[in-house]
Structure 1
Amino acid sequence: MKVVLATHNPHKVAEFQQIVAQARPDLEVVGYDGPEPVEDGVTFAENALIKARAAATHTGLPALADDSGICVDVLGGSPGVFSAYWAGQKKDAGANLALLLDQLRDIADPHRTAHFTSTIALVMPDGREQVVEGRWPGRLSHEASGGGGFGYDPIFIPDGQPHGEERTVGDFSAEEKQSQSHRARAFAELLPVLAAL
């Protein structure tokens, strides 16, 4: 069965395809080529639903949409829903990361706690909707590390690494990230719903 992922971001499509292939190999995640709706929600859930509804309407397929971001405790949960635009309207990942590091420049390690949040909406062509959330706790490094991942991955150090390691997600293999990430955690919450399709 085909499910459309409501994003034009090829990194997200590839990541979802890997996550879904491990959990539900009978589902085929396809990219979305329709118009991008205006994401004017003020929560991850609102924006995920906006995107999933648009994709389901445009394609006639069940649609998944992820709205995600990094939430920094000392910044009151920001960038949050504004993660992709933190440094301006161009969705410049490098500028976003540099600005966040600059804002936290004088913040000591104990206060650099953060988490990635992924909210996934599933919208069926018949109007049924489901929203789930996954969180990946950790803290932020003082500089970028590793060539893997995308967005804020090179500065995010997840909690619970073995042997006291302090690698960023940028240092993770794709398989490590897919098995632990906020998207994988949210998708695990969605599996019972998908099983009923």
Structure 2
Amino acid sequence: MQLLVASNNAKKLAELERILRAADVQGVEVIPLSQAPAYEEPVEDGRTFADNALIKARAGARETGLVCIADDSGLAVEELNGMPGVLSARWAGRHGDDDANNALLLGQMAHVPDGRRACAFVSVCALVTPDGAEHVAEGRWEGTLLREPVGENGFGYDPLFLPADAVAAGRSSAQLTPEEKNALSHRGKALAQLVEVIRGLTSDPSAEGPGTVD
């Protein structure tokens, strides 16, 4: 079975492949958007992570005839009622400006005491089949918002995120190795919940799609 990931992010594909291998799921070929029939990607205008993940997964399944999995993720700060949330990538107004996003968030939280700086990275993964079946899973990575950036690894809000996990040993997400981060990540937790769904689809002829994608 070919499983389309609605992304060209190699790290997302590798993470899903690692999880499927660990669960001994056989007969799945994970492919990125670049290897699927081209289609116009939808506007992610949902109000929640689940909305956006479903928008992408539905479009992928509909336009390619393949089982499609997509995710939407971001940082949810408790003091800000879950924001930046779905606006995480464009919190400062321009998509993908990590430095500006981090600076704005730190400014908004500057006078918030340590006891009220709880936050979490959240990922919602949606899997949609060509016949319209939908499955949604959420993963959370709990932590605390730091007062200044720490670490050089990762991207986005990683330098501001202090994981609650003991294995992190007081290091920010941007100080973890890629292997450590993958083992703890919100996306990994969400994807793991879909493993049995994917395993079941490998024996379902209707999930095979229109044929091999070159």
CA 1:142/1:56 → structure 2, altered by over 3 Å: closer, same or farther?
same
DSSP 3-state at the match of 2:151? coil
Alignment-mate amino acid for residue 29 of structure 2: E
User: Residues of 2 paired with 1:133 and 1:69: CA distance?
Assistant: 12
Structure 1 residues without counterparts, runs of 5 or longer: none
Matched, 1:186 2:190: yes
Amino acid paired to 1:189 = Q
Larger radius of gyration: 2
**How much does 1:21 deviate?**
4.5
Q: Equivalent residue for 1:2?
A: 2
Instruction: Tell me the TM-score normalised to structure 2 length.
Output: 0.83
Normalised by the length of structure 1, the TM-score is 0.89
The CA distance in 1 between the partners of 2:165 and 2:195, in whole Å, is 24
Tell me which residue corresponds to 2:33: 32
Task: Report the counterpart of residue 165 of structure 1 in structure 2.
Answer: 169
Q: 1:31 and 1:24, CA in 2 relative to 1: closer, same or farther beyond 3 A?
A: farther
- In structure 2, relative to structure 1, the CA distance for the partners of 1:171 and 1:17 (3 Å cut) is farther
Query: Which whole-Å CA distance do the structure 2 matches of 1:21 and 1:93 have between them?
Result: 33
| Bigger RCO (CA 8 Å, 6+ sep) | 2
Structure 1 stretch 6-15 or stretch 187-196: which is displaced more?
A: 6-15
1:18/1:178 contact within 8 Å kept: no
Question: Residues 123-148 of structure 1: CA distance to partner in whole angstroms, max 9, x if unpaired?
Answer: 11121110111111111111222222
Whole-Å separation in 1 of the counterparts to 2:153 and 2:172: 9
- Contact persistence 1:140–1:155 (CA under 8 A): yes
Residues 20, 85 of structure 1: alpha-carbon distance in 2 compared, 3 angstrom cutoff:
farther
Q: CA RMSD in A?
A: 2.0
User: In structure 2, do the counterparts of structure 1 residues 150 and 19 end up closer, same or farther at CA, with 3 Å as the change threshold?
Assistant: farther
Alpha-carbon distance change, 92 to 127 in structure 1, aligned in 2, over 3 angstroms: same
Match of 1:46 in 2: 51
**Residue 66 (str. 1) matches residue 71 (str. 2):** yes
Show the counterpart of 1:84. 89
State the percentage of identical aligned residues: 48
The amino acid that maps onto 1:66 is D
